[in-house]
Chain A
Amino acid sequence: MTLRTPEEFVQSIADLHLQIYMFGEKVDDYVNHPVIKPSLNCISMTYELARQPEYEDLMLATSHLTGKKVNRFSHIHQSTDDLSKKVKMQRLLGQKTGSCFQRCVGMDAINALYSVTYEIDQAKGTEYHQRFKKYVQFLQENDLVADGAMTDPKGDRGLAPHQQPDPDMYLHIVEKRDDGIVVRGAKAHQTGACNSHEIIVMPTVAMREGDEDYAVSFSCPANAEGVYYIYGRQSCDTRKLEGNDLDVGNAQFGGQEALMVFDDVFVPWDRVYLCGEIEFSGAVVERFAGYHRQSYGGCKVGVGDVLIGAAATAADMNGAAKASHIKDKLIEMTHLNETLFSCGLACSYEGVKMPAGNYQIDMLLANVCKQNVTRFPYEIARLAEDIAGGLMVTMPSAQDLADEKIGPIVEKYLVGQCDTPTIDRMRILRLVENLTLGTAAVGYRTESMHGAGSPQAQRIMIARQSNINHKKDLAKALAGVGKPWDRGKAKVPTAVSAD
Chain B
Amino acid sequence: MTAEQEPEKRVKVVYCGGCNPHIDRTAVAADLPADDPDVGPGATVHVSGCPRACASDHLLTSDDPGTVVVAGELVDGVPTSASELAPTVTRKLKE
Contact = CB atoms under 8 A, between A and B. Distances in A.
Nearest to B78: A355
Nearest to B52: A350
B19 to A, nearest CB: 10
B59 A352 contact: yes
A497 to B, nearest CB: 45
B21 A352 contact: no
Contacts of B78: 355
Contact of A80 (B20, B50, B58): B58
Contacts of A351: 58
Contacts of B47: none
Interface in A328-361: 350-355, 359
Contacts of A355: 60-61, 76-78
A362 B59 CA distance: 12
**Chain B interface residue count: which class?**
10 to 19
B78 to A, nearest CB: 8
B58 A353 contact: yes
A275 B20 CA distance: 38
B20 A470 contact: yes
B44 to A, nearest CB: 17
B94 interface: no
Nearest to A355: B77
Contacts of B89: none
B92 interface: no
Contacts of A2: none
A51 B62 CA distance: 37
Contacts of B20: 467, 470
A363 interface: yes
A352 B53 CA distance: 7
B51 interface: yes
A80 B58 CA distance: 9
Interface string B46-88: 0000111100001111000000000100001110000000000
Contact of A352 (B22, B60, B76): B60
Given A352-B51, A354-B77, A470 B21 contact: yes
A353 B60 CA distance: 6
A363 B53 CA distance: 13
Nearest to A79: B58
A168 B12 CA distance: 55
19 contacts: A352-B51, A352-B58, A352-B59, A352-B71, A353-B58, A353-B60, A354-B77, A355-B60, A355-B61, A355-B76, A355-B77, A359-B58, A362-B51, A362-B52, A363-B51, A467-B21, A467-B50, A470-B21, A470-B22
Interface of B: 20-22, 50-53, 58-61, 71, 76-78
